[in-house]
Every structure is written in structure tokens, then in C-alpha cells.
Structure 1
Amino acid sequence: MIIALAQTKGGVGKTTLAVNLAIERVIRRHRDVLLVDADEQGTATDFASLRGERLGGTGFTLVQLTKGTSVRTQIPTLREKFDDVVIDAGGRDSGALRAALTLADIAVIPFQPRSFDVWTLDKVASLVADAKLVNPGLRALAVLNCADPKGQDNAAAAEALADNPEIAYLDCPIGRRKAFPNNAAIGLSVFEAGQPDAKACQELERLADHLFTTPLSTQ
């Protein structure tokens, strides 16, 4: 399966989710995973380098493909060698992001419960619509990241997607938990901390299970 983490806005936790999902596949499901860094900022590549130095290996294979033509031509060949492919794409509208959407089975669109993040979903929806002309089987799912523990922002963000024709809301929010950035900063997933944050692990497991192993809910 090919999962693309896609956004046209930075700062939504896209790369953190991408690396954690890739490692979840390796640790929990013993899958052979390809992580594609298709973001020009190269944060996933930096994470993999740090992880390799710390652990002596990453546990997954990483390739950096930041051009649309490279994504479009190389991933179809590479996917045959791996169980799952996770693409870290976006941060802005780019050729690599558009190419990733034409190849993915599922586009995961992380957003935070803030007005500017919600507004960007209309831009992503337009890219999804274009990609479906080439990739009609593409499913686009918005996931609330850095969700607030309480308040109306989360509910309002989900409601904003109710009438979106291209993107469905996936009710698997990821909370605003220090475990994600703190572990990413040292090349680890939330599963690998000395004292893992149980809630962070549970949330990530639930998201991964919905994306990779169970029929998708679009409610």
C-alpha cells in the first residue's frame, strides 16, 4: 500500500506522522517499508540520518525524491520491492506532491484545529480532484493532528469537512503530545521512548490500523 502524507501548508506535523507511521509498520507489523522523502526541506532524511547514527540502522529504507518526475517514475518500480510505501510530500504545492497523489492509495492530510489550517484543506481538495483524473482510486482522508484535549476547535475542524467533496474526515485524532516532537528530535518513534507515552502510542496505533489494516471509515 502507498500512503502519502500530503499538505500545502507547513507546520502541521506531516513529517512527524510520516516517520512514526513508517516505524509503526516495522515494529508492530514487521513490514518491509520504504519511506520516501518528497519534501524539499528534507526533514525525513535528516530524521533517518539521526536515527541511523543513534541505532546503527533505521529499520526502513529511505529514498529522497523531490522532483515530480522522479516520484512519478521511480516509485512504481520501487513499490514492488516493499510491503508498504510512506511518502512524506508537501509543505507546499509542488510537482512532487502532485505526483505522489497520482500514485497513492490513500492521501493522509494532517491539519491542526486552527482556522488557517482548515482553510488550506480547500487547496488540497483541488489537488486531490486533479490527481483523481489519473488515479481514480485515490482516497483522501484528513486527520486532526496536535488536537486539543478539550474545547470546540476540534469539533469545528471536523465539521468544516462535512461538505468537502474530495476529502473525508477520519476520526483518529492525534493529540498535542510532547512525546512526538521529543522522540523525533532524537531519531525515535513514540514506541521507542524509554518510557513510552501510552496515549500517544494508542493514538498512532489506531490511526495506522485504520489506514493499513481495516476498512476505512469516512465518517
Structure 2
Amino acid sequence: MDQALTGLKGGVGKTTVAVNLAVLRASQGRDVLLVDGDEQGTASLFSQLRAENMGEPGYTAVSLQGAAVRTQVRQLKAKYGDIIIDVGGRDTGSLRAALTVADALLVPVQPRSFDVWALDQVAALVAEAREINPELRAMAFLNAADAQGPDNADAQKALAEVPGIEALASVLVRRKAYPNAAAQGRAVSEMKPRDPKAIEELGALADIAFR
């Protein structure tokens, strides 16, 4: 199962989701490859910090750019149970390459109007990618959402109207557990004291995304 995570608007939390999913799947016994296809290299920095603090990240991490994302993922696909590709928050060669080899695309969207509107650009890229990769599954979900209030419901309705992209019911609420964990090179599932709600929400997203 190959995943690509993206969002054409920066700051939507895609790398946070990518590294947390990588740790979670590895903890479940999956052989995981995390591909950092973002020029900012945040996933690689997280993996380095994790290795320094914990001895090893628990998954394999590589940095690939542009067409190398496509060629290397194709070569490595048979060696890993899950490949999670973190690509940049704009239309890049790395993003387009990832879409040609991924089984599924996860698009985190914050429940704000400009974030939701940016999903139209993703839908256009998905439509192009499906000419080469017709089985590509594209899913959008609310990330860093409000714990309560009308914005979530309004955003969910807007997501459901975007053609070619599945709007997931799973929601990741904005929680301090994420930045606190990241500062230690850890996932929310590893933090103490535990944040049961954050762990439950991440697990629900993983169950849908990797089914």
C-alpha cells in the first residue's frame, strides 16, 4: 500500500500526519518506508531527531525529489508493506511523480475557506494522474480542526462537493499532543501522558486510509 500526502496550501499539517502514520503502521508490525519528497525536508528532520532520541526510527526513511520519487518507489514497492510519501505543499514534480505510483492520496485540509478552495487544484491534478494511474484513490479529511463549532460541518459539506475526491468522515482535531510529540521525535501514540482522543482519531484515519 503506497500513500501520498499533500495539500497545495502550505501549513495544513501534512508532514505531521505522514510521520504519525508511519510510526503507527510500524508499531503495528508493518515494514514502512517514509519518503520525504518535500524540499523543506521536515519529515527527514523528524526521522533524524527520532533516531537520535530513540536509537532508531522504527521505519526506513529516504529523501527523493522529482522523477526519482516515481522510479525509486516502483523499485522499492515489493520490499515494503507500506510506503508513505510526503510531498510538498504546491504543484511540484515530486507531487506529480508520487501521484503516478501511489495507491491512495490523502489530502489534509484545515476547516477554513481558503484551504477548502485549494482542493479544486488537487482535484485537477488527480484527474490528470488518473490517466496514468486510473486506480488512484483520493481522499480529503479535516486536519487541525476545531474541537467544536460550525466550521467543521461547513468544511465537510464543501469537501463533499469536490469531484473526484472522497470526503472522509475522519477528523483530526488540533491538539497540543502533536507538536509536543514532534519536538521529541515521537508520534502521539507514544506520548506520555497519553492523549486518548488524539490516538483514537489517528487510528480511525489509518483504518480508512490503509484499508
Structure-2 separation of matches of 1:150 and 1:183:
23
1:165 matched to 2:163: yes
Which residue does the alignment assign to 1:193? 191
Which residue does the alignment assign to 1:89? 87
Equivalent pairs, count = 211
- SS, match of residue 146 in structure 1: strand
Structure-1 separation of matches of 2:176 and 2:149:
19
* Structural mapping, 1:81-160, within 5 Å: 81-160=79-158
Which residue does the alignment assign to 1:6? 6
Report the CA distance between 1:181 and its aligned residue: 1.3
Which residue does the alignment assign to 1:59? 58
- SS, match of residue 173 in structure 1: strand
| Greater fraction of residues in strand | 2
AA at the equivalent of 2:78: E
Which residue does the alignment assign to 1:26? 26
**Deviations, residues 49-77 of structure 1 (Å, cap 9, x unaligned):** 0000000100000010022x101111001
Which residue does the alignment assign to 1:74? 72
Which residue does the alignment assign to 2:41? 42
AA at the equivalent of 1:154: N
Q: Percent identity?
A: 56
Question: With structure 1 as the length reference, what TM-score do the two structures score?
Answer: 0.94
**Deviations, residues 92-151 of structure 1 (Å, cap 9, x unaligned):** 110000110111111000010001101100011111111001000001100100111111
**Deviations, residues 5-32 of structure 1 (Å, cap 9, x unaligned):** 01111100000000000111011x2100
Structure-1 separation of matches of 2:106 and 2:147:
22
Q: Is there any run of 5+ residues in structure 2 with no aligned partner, and where?
A: none
Runs of 4+ off more than 4 Å: none
Structure-2 separation of matches of 1:49 and 1:8:
26
Q: Is there any run of 5+ residues in structure 1 with no aligned partner, and where?
A: 214-219
- SS, match of residue 73 in structure 2: helix
Report the CA distance between 1:162 and its aligned residue: 2.4
- SS, match of residue 49 in structure 1: helix
- SS, match of residue 40 in structure 1: coil
1:207 matched to 2:181: no
Question: With structure 2 as the length reference, what TM-score do the two structures score?
Answer: 0.98
- SS, match of residue 34 in structure 2: strand
Report the CA distance between 1:176 and its aligned residue: 0.7
